[in-house]
Structure formats: structure tokens, C-alpha cells
């Protein structure tokens, strides 16, 4: 079966896979499908770029010194965003 005879990925699927994609943890076939989607979807390209930039900022921060209440607040915001 050809790689692109399968159903194309949706934007929602790209969002679900972006962490594994940026970590280099996607299987080759799934990575190729995601990259194929990105070739035609500027909003998803922007989203992937935004997540990539966020990861870079977080990696450069001192998370161990973050107030636990702040951490809980950020996690709650993320969960709210995920449900929407």
C-alpha cells in the first residue's frame, strides 16, 4: 500500500502527534504522513513552529524554581485548553 493512499491526517491528529514528531519518536511512515500534511496546511505549520518555540523556551528555564502553585495553574490551563 502506498504511503499516501491512506487517509490523510487531520489537523487534530497533527496536534495529537506533534510532541512525538518534535522528539523524533514517530515511526517513519507516520512522520512522512505528518510532513505531507504540513506541506499543505499553513495553520498546522504555524502550530508546530509555536510548539517548537515553546519547548525551546521551557528547556532554557529553571523549572525547579517554579512555585508549585504556578505549576498547578499552568497544568490546569493546559487541561482546559485540551478539552476545548
Cα 1 to chain centroid, rounded: 27
pLDDT at 63: 60
Mean pLDDT by 10 residues, the chain (84 residues): 69 95 94 96 96 86 75 86 72
Q: What 8-state DSSP symbol labels residue 8?
A: P
* Distances 48 to 43, 56, 80, 81 between C-alpha atoms, Å: 9, 12, 20, 16
Contact indicator for 61, 35 with CB cutoff of 8 Å: no
pLDDT at 1: 42
Contact indicator for 45, 20 with CB cutoff of 8 Å: no
Domain containing residue 27: CATH number? 1.10.10
- pTM for the complete prediction? 0.66
Q: Which domain holds residue 64?
A: 3-83
pLDDT at 53: 93
Question: Structural domain tally of the chain?
Answer: 1
Amino acid at each position: 500500500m502506498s504511503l499516501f493512499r491512506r487517509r490523510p491526517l487531520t489537523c487534530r491528529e497533527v496536534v495529537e502527534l506533534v510532541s512525538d514528531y518534535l522528539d523524533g519518536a514517530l515511526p517513519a511512515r507516520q512522520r512522512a504522513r505528518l510532513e505531507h500534511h504540513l506541506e499543505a496546511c499553513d495553520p498546522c505549520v504555524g502550530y508546530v513552529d509555536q510548539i517548537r518555540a515553546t519547548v525551546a523556551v521551557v528547556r532554557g528555564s529553571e523549572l525547579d524554581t517554579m512555585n508549585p502553585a504556578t505549576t498547578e495553574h499552568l497544568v490546569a490551563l493546559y487541561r482546559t485548553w485540551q478539552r476545548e
